[in-house]
Structure 1
Amino acid sequence: MFLPMFAMFVLIFIVGIVTARARFGHVREKKINPKYFLLMQGEDVPEAILKTGRSFSNQFEIPVLFFVASLTYIATGTESMVGLVAAWVFVLFRAIHAYIHLTSNNLIRRMQTFWLGFMCVLVMWLDLFVLLGLNY
């Protein structure tokens, strides 16, 4: 379960770099005042700043449930092919989701990948419930 967690960490790190580059680039090109970032309000914000920032923030929403489930598998020594496959598929859908969010931002495609990833986390939690919940 560690490898899907590490892959998710790498994805978050990449989205963070894309976000930082967009911010620094727009400040350098004087398309946004650096003071905007103090409270994230106060002026017209270029789409790239909003899109990358929201994509980065989004990496700390549903993925938190993924990390907790993954750590539960590890901490309890629970091995599950269902959980492992669901974890990898989750990371795949999160990567696709981030790509869509940072490029075309197609709402329907983004929602589809979000919900498919969400279902993977649900599968992980249900799998944990079946494997561990009955023992406590």
Structure 2
Amino acid sequence: MNTEVIFYPVLAQVFLVIFLFMLLGKRKLNAAKNKSVDLKQAAVNNKAWPSDVVLVSNNIANQFEIPVLFYVLSLVTYMTNSVSFITVTFAWLFVAARYCHAFVHVTNNRVPIRFRCFLVSVLMVILMLVTTSIHIIV
């Protein structure tokens, strides 16, 4: 298997983060245009923004938690030549779950659905960790 394929889901995850930053900028611009935010307060307190802005901002913060483990694990998998169909499948499922999590978070923010997406992403990282660890140890 071409080991570089582990980076396709990584790039898809990075694209998600870039998209979220663009969405954040758009929502902040709209809030400023509509005068629905006190910009002096928003400069020192993220919670001063309208809830649609805060949701995106919170989701961006989430993209630097479990996904950081995914990035590191993807590199370890590549560097140890542990890339397999199974690890790449887990990586894509992780990214799909993160897209689902982000979509729910920045739209209707239904916490039970968002939490299920989060759990799937964590499970995929755990499965990637286990399969990569087995490959390295055995």
Q: Per the alignment, do residues 69 and 56 of structure 1 end up closer, same or farther by CA in structure 2, a change over 3 Å counting?
A: same
- Listed one character per residue, the Cα deviations across residues 19-66 of structure 1 (whole Å, up to 9, x for unaligned) are 1111121112211122334332574x3111211110111111110000
Q: 1:45-56 maps to which residues of 2 (within 5 A)?
A: 45-56=49-60
* 1:31 equivalent in structure 2: 36
Whole-angstrom CA distance in 1 between matches of 2:108 and 2:26 = 18
SS at match of 2:43: helix
Cα drift, residue 126 of structure 1: 0.9
Matched, 1:6 2:11: yes
Whole-angstrom CA distance in 2 between matches of 1:28 and 1:14 = 21
Cα drift, residue 77 of structure 1: 2.4
Q: Is the 8 A contact 2:98 2:121 kept in 1?
A: yes
* 1:90 equivalent in structure 2: 94
Give the counterpart of 1:58 among 58, 62, 69: 62
Whole-angstrom CA distance in 1 between matches of 2:46 and 2:97 = 31
Whole-angstrom CA distance in 2 between matches of 1:63 and 1:107 = 19
Cα drift, residue 82 of structure 1: 1.6
Whole-angstrom CA distance in 2 between matches of 1:28 and 1:3 = 37
Question: Aligned pair count?
Answer: 133
Q: Which runs of 5+ in 2 are unaligned?
A: 1-5
Matched, 1:16 2:1: no
Matched, 1:80 2:84: yes
Q: What is the one-letter code of the residue matched to 2:19?
A: I
Q: Per the alignment, do residues 107 and 116 of structure 1 end up closer, same or farther by CA in structure 2, a change over 3 Å counting?
A: same
Q: Is the 8 A contact 2:55 2:106 kept in 1?
A: yes
Q: What is the one-letter code of the residue matched to 1:102?
A: V
Q: Percent of aligned pairs with the same residue?
A: 26
SS at match of 1:30: coil
Q: Given the two structures, how large is their TM-score scaled by the length of structure 2?
A: 0.89
- Listed one character per residue, the Cα deviations across residues 80-111 of structure 1 (whole Å, up to 9, x for unaligned) are 22211000000001001111111111110000
